[in-house]
Amino acid sequence: MIRVLLVDDQALVRSGFRIILSVEPDIEVVGEAADGLEAVALAAELRPDVICMDVEMPNLDGIAATRRILSEPPTGSEPPAVLVLTTFGHEEYLFDALAAGVSGFLLKTARAEQFVDAVRTLAAGHALLGPDVTRAVMSRAAEGAGGSGEPGGADGSGEPGGSGGTDRTLPITLPRSAANARAGADPGAGGAPAGSAPDDHTIDPAALDSVGLTEREREVLALIALGRSNAEIACELFLGEATIKTHVSKILQKLGARDRIQAVVWAHTHGGR
């Protein structure tokens, strides 16, 4: 049974979440908190598997509460997985939340089944970013790519995407083999020409060298940072999905990352030109 703690300063929101989860045979709502201080106390008392955490709350906000909860887990107990749930337009909290140690980030506009799936995903030890959040983060990263005073687009137009394809949404470069594979698979899809990268932003090579990533692991990391799933990476690199899973595990170990989300944050943090 997955034990869930609901944290939100609005009673109606908590009630809605409880109703959604109450019909699931493998999920039990063990408590509710109206602010971050209550959440810290109840997390220690109830030892939930997953905490559904709002951000903006009185007394102690959700991010600060998450830091406290994860830094001081009860003796002999695994720390809970924290799923941040917030309203549209508050995606700026994402990286603060990730730094605090959350495992998932979902907008409150998500469908009920997405919410339930997110709880199960975190309980299974995985990480999750909701699709709307992913799009918002990619858009913001694209805007930030031109923030150094240089034109944002590769064509000098100032547009985040320039005239190229979708790969400019994150400040990293697809590895050459992946770029070639995509171009070869669909030359008319707007990807980079064979032998060229689709973006002029890269992960700092010195940072990659410092953690000892192999060439293949660098390719996989670049695609992880573009939001690709293991299956999608396997298709792009013409490898088996089991092989990709092995590469991902080694990448996380070398980066000291708990999950894929932290690997994406690492890639953004070590971006350069």
Does one domain contain both 89 and 13?
A: yes
Select the more confidently predicted residue: 124 or 161. Answer: 124
Answering whether pTM is above 0.85, one says no
Residue 261 binned pLDDT confidence (cut-offs 50, 70, 90):
confident
CATH at 256: 1.10.10.10
Cβ–Cβ < 8 Å for 229, 264? no
Q: φ and ψ at 105, to 5 degrees?
A: -145, 120
Residue 146 binned pLDDT confidence (cut-offs 50, 70, 90):
very low
Which whole-number Å values give the CA distances from 252 to 2, 128, 261, 263, in the listed order?
A: 26, 15, 10, 7
Q: How far apart are CA 171 and CA 212, in angstroms?
A: 21
Range of the structural domain that residue 262 is part of: 205-270
Residue 136 binned pLDDT confidence (cut-offs 50, 70, 90):
low
Q: Where does a domain end: 116, 141, 166?
A: 141
Q: Which DSSP string corresponds to 71-120? A: HSPPTT-PPPEEEEEE-TT-GGGHHHHHHHT-SEEEETTS-HHHHHHHHH
pLDDT at 26: 96
Mean pLDDT (whole number) for 183-193: 35
Please check whether residue 256 lies inside any domain of the structure.
yes
Instruction: Quote the mean pLDDT of the chain.
Output: 76
Residue 264 in this model has a pLDDT that exceeds 60: yes
Residue 272 in this model has a pLDDT that exceeds 90: no
Q: Where does a domain end: 92, 107, 141?
A: 141
